[in-house]
Structure 1
Amino acid sequence: MTAVDERGMTKFFEEFEPPEGVKVELLRGEIVMMASPDLVHNLIVEEVQDQIPRKRWARLQTQDIDLIDEASEPVPDLVVLEREARPDSGRLLPSQLITLVVEVVSKTSVDRDYGVKRSIYAAGKVPAYLIVDPIVAHCVLLTVPVGKGDEADYRVQQITKFGEPLSLELLGTELDTSEFGTYPGVRPHRRP
């Protein structure tokens, strides 16, 4: 049996064909597969996307991201970049073009969204990472990425409860979170 390092997983991932209806990401050399998201999740993504001005910003759902020096290809729920900065084509969007990534926490993604993805996006120098959490009814906006690799993180963290306005200064807009739904009957966690 041959050992496969993280870079080997990146090559394997390029050719991997997931089953239909399954979202697949490569996170630090680990292939993560997820079932289709809950309706609450999808409605929140739509609500966030609709509030970001389309004239200036490209708002892309399920776009694979390319991160320099990372064996990762995350697929955030929403990627926001300046309309003029977007490439004409390609499967992978370079992280240095991105202004904001958005992840809506699912019942099974709490640790990934608050943990490894936080570090991955910070390592990719994505200026802002917004975690929308329908389990505990709050948003966590992370800004000012610092560090490299596993040690990367965001220096600034702002928590906003659902129902309160959330300022997205980098985009020149404010999110109305009052329409964000929650998952019924899901046990709360203690993150961020």
Structure 2
Amino acid sequence: MSALPVDPLPGDGYSWDELVRLWETMDHPEGCKVEIIAGSITVTPSPANQHHSITFKLLRALLAGIPPDRGVYTTLAVAIPGYGVYIPDLVVVPEAVVDETPGNYLPAGQAELVVEVTPPSNAGRDRMTKLAGYALGGIPLYLLIDRWASGGPTITLFGEPGDRVYKTLQTVKFGDPLHLPAPFDLTIDTSVFPLT
């Protein structure tokens, strides 16, 4: 799976608002993820089955343990103005925020947790570009499920966001438990994630 950058219009100098407006109105293939990354509109095809399996298993675990006023969303866009509009594989947000915020995205700082499951062709984007964007947007927790890490599949929980950086709170291998801190206080059984 690879992402294709889409040049919004010929030339340079597009404002953030122009880029977002184009992102909101463009047609794209069904099942594709369309994001603004590094100043370009990027279209990514649907991921592999194992990617979906991991996302679903984590979704089920989160729904069983998060506070009742939170929702877990699979196609909810979060925006870091001037930097990007990302669609995480999962995002946890208070339900009231989603209900009360008009438009096609939420300000990133409204999210409490974002999750990315790396694809093989674009893993670097989740490891670096999105990590910096989510930190810049003030999202308290970023969970990176990296099936393609050089030492084998790992799960890293980042927290305490700063200016484009996070502190690594915990890194585990697939199969080891992972603990999400407050407001979740939830241990995730990663042994159910497929390795292939």
Name the TM-score, length of structure 1 as normaliser: 0.85
- Indicate conservation of the 8 Å contact 1:142/1:156, yes or no: yes
Tell me how large the CA RMSD over aligned residues is: 1.8
The correspondence for 1:47, drawn from 21, 43, 57, is: 57
Residue 159 of structure 2 corresponds to 143
Residue 12 of structure 1 corresponds to 22
Residue 37 of structure 2 corresponds to 27
Q: Which letter does structure 2 place at the counterpart of 1:153?
A: V
Q: Which letter does structure 1 place at the counterpart of 2:84?
A: S
Residue 186 of structure 1 corresponds to none
Mapped to 1, the partners of 2:189 and 2:69 lie a distance apart of 19
Residue 116 of structure 1 corresponds to 129
Q: 1:2 to 1:153 in 2, by over 3 A?
A: same
Runs of 4+ aligned structure 1 residues displaced above 4 Å come to: none
Mapped to 2, the partners of 1:103 and 1:21 lie a distance apart of 17
Q: Summarize deviations over 1:45-94 as a string: whole Å, max 9, x none.
A: 11111111252420000111122x33411000000123344334542122
Query: Unmatched 5+ residue regions in structure 1?
Result: 184-192
Note the 1:23-172 alignment, pairs <5 A.
23-52=33-62, 53=65, 55-67=68-80, 69-88=81-100, 90-135=103-148, 136-147=152-163, 152-170=164-182, 171-172=184-185
- Indicate conservation of the 8 Å contact 2:174/2:195, yes or no: no
In percent, how many aligned pairs have the same letter?
A: 29
Name the TM-score, length of structure 2 as normaliser: 0.83
Tell me the number of residue pairs that the alignment of Structure 1 and Structure 2 aligns.
Answer: 178
